[in-house]
Amino acid sequence: MTLIAAATPAETFIAYSEDAEEFWASFGWTRHEHRTDPDHFRPAYVGGIPAAG
């Protein structure tokens, strides 16, 4: 993640994942459920990658 953050400091990323709330939250990413059918679609996590420091 450190290499990605260094190469793309101003980018926003989206990850589709399930059962990974703690992992994505550890980066400060926000979970978004599917608006019309959350039971059949994975949530999306949206955020940036914090720079190492």
Distance, CA of 14 to CA of 18 (rounded, Å): 13
pLDDT in tens, the chain (53 residues): 667 767 777 788 888 888 888 988 888 889 888 889 888 888 888 888 766 65
Give which of 37, 12, 42 is closest to 27, Cα–Cα: 12
| Side-chain-facing half-sphere of 41: CA atoms under 13 Å | 13
The reported pLDDT for the residue numbered 11 is 81
**pLDDT the model gives residue 53:** 56
Q: What is the pTM of this model?
A: 0.64
Q: Nearest Cα to 27, choosing from 3, 51, 6, 43?
A: 51
